[in-house]
């Protein structure tokens, strides 16, 4: 198994704490949080210099000291944001907008720049986002069309498994995007096993998907494979570039090759029904074992000798049965 990407996230992002081996008498000291693990005392201390991985808008504006976003920058449904706005209305809290208005002119940047969703952009509407044409355009158009970019990828015998993605056992993935959307696509395993599709039968915008039900299909030559939807929700954007150029999904399954964007009522519950990237690595390993057995049956033991798989497994091994592949891996057929 190998690892790709720009290094482990811990090399560039503070996680808000540090720890050291401690003694029993440190458990009651106020300077840290004591814990016992395996008979050893560990003392955890907050790190004031640590960066939030997903900094909250209120923190970035300077209205609060430290707050990491746990709602995917979907402020409209954020309980913390609603509570803070209530405190502002009672005169008990400075709003993030007022905090930004007190900043030097060159530092009064767009809220999407503050939360690292776009590059530096000055605010031209005095932080009245409801009056800003760009804010609406960003949420409705730019954010929906922006590709996903995995920051870290592990490879299992030639098949990529990226971090921060959630997997369905029918070999689709969903990634939570800023704004509370779910971006959906086919994983690297399925696209390499079935090879480059001649076309995708994707649902239209406004179509409602149901978790674990057939949601779309892919075509290759005279074959059609149905694909199960990983999440519930309504499609708000379809990747027309993949419909025009199906090979894009194979070249960048977790980037430009995404298929559509979904809006779901409860994004966290939707993600919990899927596998995390950590579980996905073990799952792909087991799926590779199934694939090796199928390859051995049609091509002999030398064809699955412990090496890595390349693209288009089906196309390079004519003895493989399309229907058996769809039943085994897509859970359809």
**What proportions of the chain, in percent to the nearest 5, are helix, strand and coil?**
35, 25, 40
0.85 exceeded by the pTM? Answer: no
Same domain, 294 and 323: yes
CA–CA separation, 227 vs 331, rounded Å?
A: 8
Same domain, 196 and 294: yes
Same domain, 101 and 217: no
pLDDT of residue 36: 57
Any domain includes 116: yes
pLDDT of residue 7: 44
The pLDDT tens digits of the residues spanning 14-31 come to 344 555 555 555 555 555
Q: Which domain holds residue 28?
A: 16-50
pLDDT of residue 33: 53
Is residue 301 classed exposed, middle or buried when 0-12, 13-18 and 19+ CB atoms within 10 A define those classes?
Answer: exposed
* Cα angle 303, 284, 187; round to 5: 100
Same domain, 159 and 127: no
Same domain, 159 and 39: no
Any domain includes 322: yes
Examine the fold and report which residue of 90, 121, 145 is the final residue of a domain before the chain moves on: 145
The residues, ordered by sequence, that sit 6+ positions from 21 with a Cβ below 8 Å of its Cβ are 40, 41, 42, 43
Kind plus residue range of the DSSP H or E element containing 29: none
Examine the fold and report which residue of 99, 122, 145 is the final residue of a domain before the chain moves on: 145
CA–CA separation, 47 vs 84, rounded Å?
A: 24
Same domain, 74 and 45: no
Closest to 33 in 3D by CA, of 19, 50, 54: 19
Any domain includes 7: no
Same domain, 247 and 297: yes
Neighbours of 325 (CB within 10 A): 20
The pLDDT tens digits of the residues spanning 247-280 come to 999 999 999 999 999 999 888 899 999 998 889 9
Domain count, the chain: 3
Same domain, 25 and 67: no
Same domain, 183 and 326: yes
Bridge partners (DSSP) of residue 44 are: 19, 33
pLDDT of residue 25: 58
The CATH number covering residue 234 comes to 2.40.50.100
Same domain, 42 and 79: no
Q: Quick one: DSSP state of residue 52? A: P
Rounded mean pLDDT of the chain?
85
Examine the fold and report which residue of 31, 50, 69 is the final residue of a domain before the chain moves on: 50
Same domain, 46 and 61: no
The pLDDT tens digits of the residues spanning 53-81 come to 688 999 999 999 989 888 888 888 899 99
Same domain, 140 and 173: no
């Amino acid at each position: 198994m190998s690892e790709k990407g720009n290094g482990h996230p811990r090399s560039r992002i503070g996680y808000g704490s540090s720890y050291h081996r401690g003694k029993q008498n440190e458990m009651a000291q106020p300077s840290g949080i004591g814990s016992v693990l395996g008979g050893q005392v560990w003392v955890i201390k907050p790190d004031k210099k640590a960066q939030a991985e997903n900094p909250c808008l209120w923190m970035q504006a300077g209205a609060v000291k430290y707050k990491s976003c746990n709602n995917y920058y979907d402020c409209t449904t954020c309980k913390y944001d609603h509570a803070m706005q209530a405190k502002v209305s009672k005169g008990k809290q400075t709003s993030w907008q007022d905090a930004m208005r007190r900043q030097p002119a060159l530092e009064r940047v767009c809220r999407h720049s503050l939360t690292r969703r776009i590059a530096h952009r000055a605010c031209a509407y005095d932080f009245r986002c409801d009056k800003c044409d760009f804010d609406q355009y960003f949420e409705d158009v730019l954010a929906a069309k922006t590709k996903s970019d995995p920051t870290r990828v592990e490879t299992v015998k030639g098949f990529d498994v990226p971090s921060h993605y959630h997997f369905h056992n029918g070999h689709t993935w969903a990634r939570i995007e800023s704004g509370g959307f779910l971006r959906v696509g086919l994983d690297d395993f399925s696209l390499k096993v079935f090879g480059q599709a001649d076309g995708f039968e994707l649902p239209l915008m406004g179509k409602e998907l149901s978790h674990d039900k057939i949601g779309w299909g892919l075509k290759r030559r005279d074959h059609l494979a149905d694909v199960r939807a990983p999440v519930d929700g309504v499609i708000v954007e379809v990747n027309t570039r993949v419909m025009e150029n199906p090979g894009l999904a194979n070249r960048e399954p977790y980037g430009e090759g995404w298929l559509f964007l979904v809006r779901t009522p409860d994004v966290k519950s939707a993600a919990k029904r899927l596998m995390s990237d950590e579980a996905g690595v073990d799952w792909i390993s087991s799926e590779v074992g199934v694939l090796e057995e199928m390859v051995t049956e049609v091509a002999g033991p030398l064809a699955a000798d412990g090496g890595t798989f390349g693209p288009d497994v089906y196309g390079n091994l004519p003895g493989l049965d399309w229907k058996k592949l769809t039943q085994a891996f897509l859970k359809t057929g």
